[in-house]
Amino acid sequence: MKQSHKGWNNWFLVIAVIGLAVAPLILARDAEFGGSDGEAQKAIAQVKPGYEPWFQPLFQPPSKEIESLLFASQAALGAGVIGYAIGLYRGRSQQQRDQE
């Protein structure tokens, strides 16, 4: 593949990712984006109305914003660890190829 086509492919992918992230916000303006925990609680309540959870959360964030911040921080940390591992193994394999 030519270098000029490679650059366009990268820009197309960036635009596609941005479009996928923004499209739900535009198409469903008044929708409430909730997590699966609330939906699971509703489903369990329908199946078994008297169900009691086995345990309670160790930490309950004071607001939804803080809960979102903690979730995003956890996702960023996980992505950083995965990215570091991929870079480390790629660097090691590149170093081995250079030595051969």
pLDDT digits (tens, 9 = 90+) for 48-95: 988 888 888 888 888 888 888 999 999 999 999 999 999 999 999 999
Q: Tell me the domain boundaries of the chain.
A: 1-31, 64-100
Question: What residues contact 61, with CB distance under 8 A and at least 6 apart?
Answer: 67, 70
Under DSSP, the state recorded for 52 is: -
Q: By the 8 A CB rule, do 67 and 61 touch?
A: yes
pLDDT digits (tens, 9 = 90+) for 42-52: 899 899 988 88
Q: Determine how many CB atoms are found less than 10 A away from the CB of residue 84.
A: 10
In this predicted structure, the answer to whether residue 2 has a pLDDT above a threshold of 70 is: no
In this predicted structure, the answer to whether residue 6 has a pLDDT above a threshold of 80 is: no
In this predicted structure, the answer to whether residue 38 has a pLDDT above a threshold of 80 is: no
4 vs 38, more confident: 38
Under DSSP, the state recorded for 55 is: -
Q: Quick one: pLDDT at residue 1? A: 45
